[in-house]
Structure 1
Amino acid sequence: MTDMTYDVIVIGAGPVGENVADRVVRGGLTAAVVERELVGGECSYWACMPTKALLRSAAALRAARQVPGAREAVTGGLDVAAVLRRRDSFASNWADDGQVSWLGSAGIALHRGQGRISSERIVEVTGPDGATTTLTARHAVVVATGSSALVPDIAGLREAAPWTSREAAAAKAVPARLAVIGGGVVASEMATAFASLGSAVTVLARDGVLPQAEPFAGELVTTSLRDAGVSVRPGAEAASVTRDSNGTVRLTLTDGEQVEADELLVAVGRTPNTLDIGLDRIGLKPGAWLTVDDTLRVLGADGTPAGDGWLYAAGDVNHRALLTHQGKYQARAAGDVIVARAKGEPVQDGPWGRHVATADERAVPQVVFTDPEVASVGLTAAAAEAAGLRIRVVDYDLAAVAGSALHADGYTGHARLVVDEDRQVIAGCTLAGPDVAELLHAATIAVVGEVPLDRLWHAVPAYPTVSEVWLRLLEAYGRSYQATTP
């Protein structure tokens, strides 16, 4: 057994854990990360990067086919093998040498194995060879273990060896028939990807497609999926699943209908990776999400910091916003606050404080890379009303913008602003259409910066671009141009 001491120990070396460690090292502290799988985590190998690589080739082909002149130059379909090779390259062929090298260059120590908290500020690491290393943190332990795909309790489902997001992202071959349980982001993106790669896809979307988004977004994506040959079944729910000796998966729905497929993807949510990290040793519940304050310090059942405040949790594991960019945002905040507290410096709190994560509540940006793309930030109309805001909803047809017509023939899309009428600022924005992902950050700045509508009149969109929709939305809102004083 080996004993080692660092200022900060991070359990989990995904993008969140890497950013926490980097931030504290930049602040003058020492840090170590503990990782049981690949350094770089879910996003690098089984989520963000490989899945978007799977989607990109088909999106580029669709874009070319929507523009005369380019359309005529396209003489064939997708080269599936080339798509999969490109996907593999973005997943670094599931090798983490590059990420490990970066840790070394950043001055961050790596301990491979399963990390478990054994007592206050103590983490025991069981390595691949069974040897145990005891790590002691002078100031903080950070849990950044992320989440895994949730497999629901459907009769026979686990025995049928379904795909989760990991298997879908890393698939070595395209199944002739793919069934998908779920209608959220992963389900919609993978249905889009595999339909474009040649699978006959059936989506069993009990709660509809993209149920957490504005309704028009789910409607546009549903229409597009069906146009691509996908069988989208809103309200459909699996009651049982079997896989026969030939590998065929048979799903029996709650209404008695049967669906057959060669592979089954389950995409119905996430569960925290906290079952085997020693939470029971410090009075917390194994397998549960970790509740944190805005400085990312873990709270106990009574709402006060666990222990004396040495334990932090960032990323998916705290269930605030299960998105890589939000986890990295939390990581920066957590790293800064750990350094400040270690040095005895005051912690800046409040909505604009350096040491707090507040964007997770009402200013989360997200892109769903379906066809069409769905880009959103802030609150939907339904969420804003549920939060008690007095709102006005402003809609505009993206196809009516001059830049959209230039972008693609037959451009179809929609834009919505949710305006907080009492404060005269944007509380939410959703855009659905080809390539709207690149419009999102302007909306994010408007929401986070709480830019008054009167000031937005002075943010003049370039013509002819799709961004002209901002002017059209303001016109639709109905407030006339007003000269304002900066």
Structure 2
Amino acid sequence: MTETENIAYDVVVLGAGPVGENVADRTRAAGLSTAVVESELVGGECSYWACMPSKALLRPVIAQADARRLPGLSAAVQGPLDAAAVLARRDYFTSDWKDDGQVGWLESIGADLHRGHGRLSGERTVTVTGPDGVRKVLTARHAVAVCTGTRAVLPDLPGLDEVKPWTSREATSAKAAPGRLVVVGGGVVATEMATAWQALGSQVTLLVRGKGLLNRMEPFAGELVAEALTEAGVSVRTGTSVRSVTRENGTVVVVTDTGDRIEADEILFATGRAPRTDDIGLDTVDREPGSWLEVDDSLRVTGSDWLYAVGDVNHRALLTHQGKYQARIAGAAISARASGSAVQGDAWGAHAATADHDAVPQVVFTDPEAASVGLSLAEAEQAGHRVRAVDYDLASVSGAGLYGDGYRGRARMVVDMEREILLGVTFVGPGVGELIHSATIAVAGQVPISRLWHAVPSYPTISEVWLRLLEAYRDN
């Protein structure tokens, strides 16, 4: 028979990924007693199956591609990557899927970790069932924060379970490169994993249902990435859906909607995410299990004065850095309300996640990289803004030519013509991921173009594109 222990805290955090860790950090810094509940590894999806392992896989790929663009160095890096060494470095950055270090960090800030499956069991209450079956009932005086993230969604295809397809988890943790890999999807996970595994020795076929890649960015971003993937040896097939998947004598057999038959050793579905809220007791607080949780700008769930949903589960921006930003906002808001202090909920206030609406940055670590912040041209027009898009060929920037021979890239800024501020910026090209924070500052700060003229880019760097964009805006 299981025993039940009742423990009271100021705050209970459900989920110990980067988002949950940051909520706990902020509430502990404010002096609130905080419990963190985790059913898997402390550090979450980002640390073990997403951001860290994927970027560890991609960094050697991008470094090699950059080196091959430089005479005097290119001849030294013409051979294939050492896949075993790349995978070993990936394992290092995941701590070999052990969370001792992150557990130690939680302990260092004074948060209590409860391992097991946590479920809401009523207002301000979370019941945790541990691996040994022992139950603990955690009550929260001030707030429960749901930070459980998302899971990969697989399509409804007959017999797919028997095929044992890869999701993002298997794609980032595989111990060897499959000889042939089919990747289904055209978004970030699909393009990044196609980039990584092709370079590590896989023959990759990318099946995209839509017309192109990276459809949430400016169209030219997907076009340039598709062109580069094709040149690298990936077979990119757009306008293609999967009709059936089977595994025959160990071989994956894919039949497309056009009747084509593709054989592979593994298949990765990168076709979307769903909230991990199906078994966390939402029904006990009058919420729909498995649903995204709607929140206000302080990340408090609509209609509640104690329940918060932070990170992917609120569907605002499925990005680790944005979830951590939300966590800082939520932690500050919880702490302010707990102390009876005023909540600064106005736009750009200390307790408002305003950037979720206006200034979300993202980098896709393909070759070339694609980076954007704010609204695309189409999004700005759909929102009713009177805008102008200003484009510039990145290859014409001195710093880009020095970065590597044959540099290809493009930049766009979307200008609000009434206020003369930037609503969005997109860069595509080698090395542009390091440019996007300057664009984020310009968009989030609503910096007038007249003031941007005085932000002088260093010469000769790729960031000189800012001057060229401003000149193109002025002269046309």
> Shared fold (TM-score greater than 0.5)?
yes
1:311 aligns with 307
Residues 276-308 of structure 1: per-residue CA shift (max 9 Å, x gap): 100001110000110001010111xxxxx23xx
3-state SS in 2 of match to 1:206: coil
Alignment partners' CA distance in 2, 1:382 and 1:78: 39
2:163 aligns with 160
Aligned residue type for 2:363: V
3-state SS in 2 of match to 1:105: helix
Q: Is the 8 A contact 1:176 1:199 kept in 2?
A: yes
TM-score by length of 1: 0.96
Q: Is the 8 A contact 2:143 2:306 kept in 1?
A: yes
Percent identity over paired residues: 64
Q: Is it true that 1:114 corresponds to 2:110 in the alignment? A: no
Shift of 1:257: 1.3
Q: Is it true that 1:223 corresponds to 2:227 in the alignment? A: yes
Alignment partners' CA distance in 2, 1:384 and 1:200: 39
2:73 aligns with 70
Shift of 1:479: 5.6
1:241 aligns with 245
Shift of 1:275: 0.6
Please give the residue correspondences for 1:11-410 in structure 2 after superposition, counting only pairs within 5 Å. 11-74=14-77, 76-207=79-210, 208-244=212-248, 246-299=249-302, 305-306=303-304, 309-410=305-406
Aligned residue type for 1:410: G
Q: Is the 8 A contact 1:272 1:317 kept in 2?
A: yes
Residues 210-261 of structure 1: per-residue CA shift (max 9 Å, x gap): 11111110000000000011000000000111111x2111111112111111
Alignment partners' CA distance in 2, 1:250 and 1:69: 44
Gaps of 5+ in 1: 300-304, 481-486
Q: Is the 8 A contact 2:65 2:367 kept in 1?
A: no
Q: Is it true that 1:421 corresponds to 2:417 in the alignment? A: yes
Change (3 A) 1:458 1:479: farther
Alignment partners' CA distance in 2, 1:388 and 1:154: 40
Gaps of 5+ in 2: none
3-state SS in 2 of match to 1:428: strand
Aligned residue type for 2:258: D
Q: Is the 8 A contact 2:421 2:446 kept in 1?
A: yes
Shift of 1:69: 1.3
Shift of 1:158: 2.9
Alignment partners' CA distance in 2, 1:77 and 1:266: 26
1:453 aligns with 449
Shift of 1:152: 1.5
3-state SS in 1 of match to 2:318: coil
1:483 aligns with none
What is the total number of aligned residue pairs between the two structures? 472
Q: Is the 8 A contact 1:214 1:381 kept in 2?
A: yes
Shift of 1:74: 2.8
1:484 aligns with none
Q: Is it true that 1:478 corresponds to 2:474 in the alignment? A: yes
Aligned residue type for 1:391: V
Shift of 1:75: 5.6
3-state SS in 1 of match to 2:171: helix
1:302 aligns with none
Q: Is the 8 A contact 1:12 1:33 kept in 2?
A: yes
Aligned residue type for 2:169: R
Q: Is the 8 A contact 2:397 2:465 kept in 1?
A: yes
Aligned residue type for 1:268: T
Alignment partners' CA distance in 2, 1:196 and 1:156: 31
Alignment partners' CA distance in 2, 1:346 and 1:335: 14
Q: Is the 8 A contact 1:8 1:137 kept in 2?
A: yes
3-state SS in 2 of match to 1:8: strand
Shift of 1:26: 0.2
Q: Is the 8 A contact 1:151 1:158 kept in 2?
A: no
Alignment partners' CA distance in 1, 2:376 and 2:237: 24
Change (3 A) 1:254 1:72: closer
- Superposed CA RMSD in Å reads 0.9
Residues 7-62 of structure 1: per-residue CA shift (max 9 Å, x gap): 00000000000000110000111101000000000000000000000001111111
Alignment partners' CA distance in 1, 2:208 and 2:254: 14
TM-score by length of 2: 0.98
After TM superposition, where is structure 1 displaced by more than 4 Å over at least 4 residues in a row? none
Alignment partners' CA distance in 2, 1:77 and 1:167: 23
